[in-house]
Amino acid sequence: MARMLPAEKGSNFYFETYQLIADIYYGQKRYDYVIYYMKPLLDEPKLHPSNRYKTCMVIGKSYLAKGDQANALKYFREALDAGKKVPYKYNYSEAEKYIKGLTK
């Protein structure tokens, strides 16, 4: 009999669960829910930098969609910082693009 085992906080399984929830709400344009579910992930010290990057990007995009450019910029900058900390080659150019667009 299969048992439901909780995913360890900060693990990829933990992140992916919340990422799926965020994807659904983002697709429905329910940006407050995206922010609500994703922000707590940033408090997880074990969260991999690539997952931190993705979390910050979806939060930033949600704030941008809501018209809150200041918070969007804050999270895009956090995403860029996280992307630079990934220990392997990682493409964080999307964050750079958003930052450039918001700081013109």
With helix as H, strand as E and coil as C, how does 57-94 read?
HHHHHHHHHCCCHHHHHHHHHHHHHHHHCCCCCCCCHH
Residue type, 43: D
Write out pLDDT tens, residues 65-94. Answer: 999 999 999 999 999 999 999 989 999 999
pTM of the full structure: 0.89
Contacting residues for 49 by C-beta, under 8 A, at least 6 apart: 82, 83, 85, 86, 87, 90
Q: What is the pLDDT of residue 2?
A: 44
Of 50, 60, 55, 64, nearest to 92 by C-alpha is 50
The pLDDT-based confidence of 5 (bands split at 50, 70, 90) is low
Assess contact for 42 and 58: CB atoms under 8 A. Answer: no
Q: For each of the domains in the chain, give its residue range(s) and CATH number, in order of start.
A: 12-102 (1.25.40.10)
**What does the DSSP 8-state code read for residue 40?**
G
